[in-house]
A and B are shown apart, each in its own frame.
Chain A
């Protein structure tokens, strides 16, 4: 009996739980609303793509600047802290603050507000003119009333003003890309 319970427990740990009803509403592609967002220098467009699978959340940044397109995914686990190599940060590209290539960021994530907010905390190493520095970034991804808008509030340990990006959900099958 004990062995059976242990087996069931281990199976439960290995098989991903389905996402909650609220968190699954994040799934899909979200388009930036530039006129309602903080100025995004060095990028002309941004989409976020959410994939929620149990505790794992993949957040893909689909970015455009002129003819440059960058697609990068940060994979976080709700309720856990993980090391994420080359964590993608939405850079203000007119600042001499660069990713520290190959370095890992310590990233934790949590669902809040009945799973309508995902909070991601990351300690991100960056390269500046004086060498290496650390930037703590806290992002809240908040599902809007009606479930078709998403607000991202980004705080930096090094910046006194929050950056606020607002998105609208694209219908399933929408093929528009940045």
Chain B
């Protein structure tokens, strides 16, 4: 009996030791390749070739981090170049540049089993092709690219040309669901919308292919009832806690409709449709010894007392990385930056890069509304608690102490009602007992509260990047005049792409006394003297989108 147990132990040890040593050696390869893209995403121009390369990237990066893509500095996700430097510097990656599509195929076609052809006459077939690519290990091509991939030994797996001619999106995706959905990942799905028509930017497709996701661009607009029904079916079939990657399709529905729909299933959104390199980024963890340390300006238990003045604080949401992080001027003013917290799973290096490159004036906050982008007024009660526990844990890991909330479900873009029902506010106060406070809105809002030492403050102003700075100055001075009690707490949302330098000039011309303070200080001061009126969303507040 003892002998048998010993043999069993030895056998188990033999099984465990290689696995353990493999885990010690685990980590992405130190040798990788990099490719530079230009800005041509025209469907009749550079997009088909890019789509093919991105599908190749998804396959090449399936079991190791092999191919990284650098986009021009004006690409919406602006940090591909700085992050490339980060991988070299902090992870010791040696990159070899891939200078042509031909070379990319020569290097990486071995990771593909064939190709699938999408129909340029029916652009949404690129999404069906991406789905097939993930499931069948294929690259996606247009007819023009067939000779090129065949030259590298790839055989046709499927050809969508003509299959969906004349069909509606609902018909096309109903067919795709019948054919492929039961083989796809149920923890992740790719809403590959965004740009449509003459320009398409499926730069996130590598990630969807790597993870065998179902790709679609089904509408969330109730006017498109047949598409909404299919969209709902997909969302209902996802596993609890699943993530919707990508972005809503421009011109078919609105961000508000799309985010409201998935929030009503308690699902998290992780945009954009053109967020690149996740198939590469996901394979790295934080560098050894790295620990997030936020630039806190006040102790968590410290009490501050507001003076008789105007306090202004600036916040940039829209997820750090598509804003002005790399633009001149950052660091001249205290700024809070909303971090997409679940990048701890998908892009740890990006988070580490942001923390490493932060100036003392950059303060990170959690959001948006939870462990992903969601509209909390619409999250089912039974999911809210679980999601916020996840958010709390991520905030703890990231040393973040302010939660940013946004619910645009009834707004119309960046105007309209962004307020929270009282029961939503109650739920946040219960879920986050240890935060310094909450901020709310995107455009201006009027949800305000203070419970114990935790204020909830909405944006009083949204800076449109195109608004002339003298008008911004006049607007802020008008708010200061209208809110005559002191202290006045003026929270400002700085839309992505605003120029920080221009805000310095605005501040110089405000009528005060005015003090610009970091967000944590702002909230501590707002807790000390409540001059704002408690308010929640009211039943008769304006509603643009009436929901489902």
Contact = CB atoms under 8 A, between A and B. Distances in A.
B386 to A, nearest CB: 33
Interface string A104-138: 00000000000000000000001111110101000
B478 A158 contact: yes
A129 B474 contact: no
Contact of A129 (B448, B470, B478): B448
A79 interface: no
Contact of A65 (B412, B458, B531): B412
A93 B411 CA distance: 12
B461 A127 contact: no
A132 to B, nearest CB: 9
Contact of B444 (A38, A67, A94, A131): A94
Interface in A156-170: 156, 158-161
Interface in B139-198: none
B446 A98 contact: yes
Contact of A41 (B445, B467, B533): B467
Contacts of A101: 540
A6 interface: no
Nearest to A42: B415
B459 interface: yes
B509 to A, nearest CB: 10
A66 B412 contact: yes
Interface in B462-518: 462-464, 466-468, 470-471, 474-475, 477-479, 481-485, 488-489
A161 B444 contact: no
B413 to A, nearest CB: 6
A159 B474 contact: yes
Contact of B474 (A66, A127, A135, A161): A161
Nearest to B475: A95
Interface string A38-71: 1101100000000000000000000001111000
Contacts of A96: 444-446, 458-461, 479
Q: Is the interface of A mostly helix, strand, loop or mixed?
A: loop
Given A92-B475, A96-B459, A156-B478, A130 B532 contact: yes
Contact of B479 (A42, A95, A160): A95
Contacts of B468: 39
A130 B526 CA distance: 12
A93 to B, nearest CB: 4
A103 interface: no
B544 interface: yes
A97 interface: yes
B482 A133 contact: yes
A38 B459 CA distance: 23
B122 to A, nearest CB: 27
Contact of A68 (B412, B466, B475, B479): B412
B415 A129 contact: no
Nearest to A131: B533
B477 A129 contact: no
A127 B446 contact: yes
Nearest to B493: A94
B466 to A, nearest CB: 8
Interface residues of A, number: 29
Interface string B397-408: 000000000000
A129 B487 CA distance: 12
A29 B540 CA distance: 31
A130 B477 contact: no
A79 B412 CA distance: 39
Contacts of B459: 96
B414 interface: yes
Contact of B464 (A94, A128, A133, A156): A94
B480 to A, nearest CB: 9
B134 interface: no
Contacts of B483: 128-130, 133
A3 B477 CA distance: 59
A95 B467 CA distance: 12
A39 B473 CA distance: 13
Contacts of A93: 415, 443-444
Contact of A130 (B412, B458, B461, B484): B484
B470 A161 contact: yes
B539 to A, nearest CB: 12
Contacts of B481: 158-159
A73 B390 CA distance: 50
Given A39-B468, A95-B444, A96-B461, A128 B415 contact: no
Interface string B519-545: 000000000000111000000100010
B43 to A, nearest CB: 26
A124 to B, nearest CB: 11
A92 B531 CA distance: 23
Contacts of A128: 460, 479, 482-483
Nearest to B540: A101
Contact of A160 (B446, B474, B533): B474
Contacts of A38: 471
Contacts of B444: 93-96
Nearest to A157: B481
A130 B478 contact: no
B413 A133 contact: no
A159 B471 CA distance: 10
B484 A133 contact: yes
A130 B475 contact: no
A68 B533 CA distance: 29
B467 A159 contact: no
A121 to B, nearest CB: 18
Given A94-B464, A97-B478, 6 more contacts: A41-B467, A41-B471, A159-B474, A159-B477, A159-B481, A160-B474
6 residue pairs, one from A and one from B, having the closest CB atoms: A96-B444, A158-B481, A96-B460, A94-B462, A93-B415, A161-B474
15 contacts: A39-B471, A41-B467, A42-B443, A68-B412, A95-B475, A96-B444, A96-B458, A126-B482, A127-B446, A129-B489, A130-B483, A130-B532, A130-B533, A135-B482, A159-B481
